[in-house]
Amino acid sequence: MKKQRIKNLNSIDLESVEMTFDIIKYVINRLSDTKGILGNPKSEEQLKELVGETITEDGIGGEKALELFRDVLSKATISEDHPRNLAFVPAAPSKASILFDLVTAASSIHGAYWMMGAGGIFCENEAMRWLVSNTGLPETAFGVFTSGGTAANLSAMLAAREVWLEKSEINKTLKSLLITSNGAHSSIKQMAKVLGSDVILVEDGDNDNMNGEKLNEVIKGLQPYDYQRLFAVVATSGTTNAGIIDELDEIAEVCQKHNIWFHVDGAYGGAAIVVPELKPLFKGIEKADSITIDPHKWLFTPYDCGAIIYRDIEQAKKAHTQKGTYLEIFKDEGARGFNPSDYQLQLSRRTRGMPLWFSIAMHGTKAYESAVRYGVTIAKKSADLIKERDYLRLIREPSLSVVLFQRKGWEYKDYTNWTYENLQKGFALVTPTTWTKDGSEEVVARFCFINPETTIDDVKAILDSME
């Protein structure tokens, strides 16, 4: 009977070498393509018909799998870094960070414990020190990289709740409560579900944001039982829908008065704090107990990379540290250091902050300031272009890098048809959203500028397509 030969997953043969070169070629072509393909999603049925069975007993071969991805599957995705992708909060990782993401994967670093990933965690911590230095927080402050804003916010709220639980034995019998703004990201409500917490929303003030007066009114109106349950306030520094920053300084004062954890969700907009002239917009963030910033949004890092920063890193350690005898086997000095698993939800984790470190180390912090500043600058220029066109109406002056505007006479279906047609042409992706003012909800178009490769000519062409 003939013995079946089992493939070695790490075997090196001629096909493997050729496949490696082809993958590198794909990466180089992708990085050097100045025009880019926007892409267009297809249904699962359509894709199945185009590629057939890809998971088989004997495998289809690396060359074939790469061919299917390159020629079919990659084109059925939306390129987040396309210069005319201005929808949602797009991403535009630097070429340096993308290349080092390959190095990160190839290095096979376990990023939970210093004893396993000291060199990689050192890289992450260097990038984190720069990030923290821009917040104005005290020397006790530090942070860790997470999978994104949701994980970062949840990690912060878990630490906040632990601090609240320690205040009183009674708290351990209560369902926790947090307060946030109307413009808070949807993940805040989702995070509260995970924690089993209730949420109260604060109405916007005159500047379309949460301020100290409105927050204080809500807290004063709480019944004693609910006041006892209150453990945190979540402010936003750059809402995803409109780029609006809550009145952080006022909110901080209210939180200090009531001894409540003050968290700032800056997943999108928080990155703008690295630009010196934009720092005044974030006055009060230095009083926060925790801050979320997503490098994979406005700090030009590949997915997935979020960051959570704590005012007192030891408070986070008390909430997140996991114990296990098998984790304490290395006793030499070199194995003792910063363990990222002690400060956020994940145990096993990749060193996702390494690509950010490499890109900053390569280009310098001034280049990062300039790249973030560009998003704000082009948003202001786009607002001016909108004002010049009589068929358009600017909804409000840009906040950070978000612009809201309307095509006069259009309804929701007109916006969606326009979005669909532009996407089908491979021209642009700009999606509608809603804006509520004085109780009236309107459909509007929205730009979010992240990519430094987006030009004012791109903006003009998009606006012209609405005429």
Please write the tens of the pLDDT for every residue from 255-290.
999 999 999 999 999 999 999 999 999 999 999 999
Q: What is the 3-state secondary structure (H, E, C) of the chain?
A: CCCCCCCCCCCCCHHHHHHHHHHHHHHHHHHHCCCCCCCCCCCHHHHHHHHCCCCCCCCCCHHHHHHHHHHHHHHHCCCCCCCCECCCCCCCCCHHHHHHHHHHHHHCCCCCCHHHHHHHHHHHHHHHHHHHHCCCCCCCCEEEEECCHHHHHHHHHHHHHHHHHHHCCHHHHCCCEEEEECCCCHHHHHHHHHHCCEEEEECCCCCCCCCHHHHHHHHHCCCHHHHHHEEEEEEEECCCCCCCECCHHHHHHHHHHHCCEEEEEECCHHHHHHCHHHHHHHCCHHHCCEEEECHHHHCCCCCCCEEEEECCHHHHHHHHCCCCHHHCCCCCHHHCCCCHHHCCCCCCCCCCCHHHHHHHHHHCHHHHHHHHHHHHHHHHHHHHHHHHCCCEEECCCCECCEEEEEECCCCHHHHHHHHHHHHHCCCCECCEEEEEECCEEEEEEEEECCCCCCCHHHHHHHHHCCC
pLDDT at residue 410 above 70? Answer: yes
Question: What are the extents of the domains in the chain?
Answer: 99-364, 366-464
Listed range (13-22, 104-113, 358-367, 427-436) with the worst mean pLDDT: 13-22
Q: 99-364, which class in CATH?
A: alpha beta
pLDDT digits (tens, 9 = 90+) for 175-220: 999 999 999 999 999 999 999 999 999 999 999 999 999 999 999 9
What does the pLDDT read at residue 328? 58
State mean pLDDT over 245-259: 98
State mean pLDDT over 298-306: 98
For residue 2, what pLDDT band results from cuts at 50, 70 and 90? very low
Average pLDDT of the chain to the nearest whole number: 94
What does the pLDDT read at residue 332? 62
pLDDT at residue 1 above 50? Answer: no
What does the pLDDT read at residue 7? 65
Q: Does domain 366-464 sit in CATH 3.90.1150.10?
A: yes
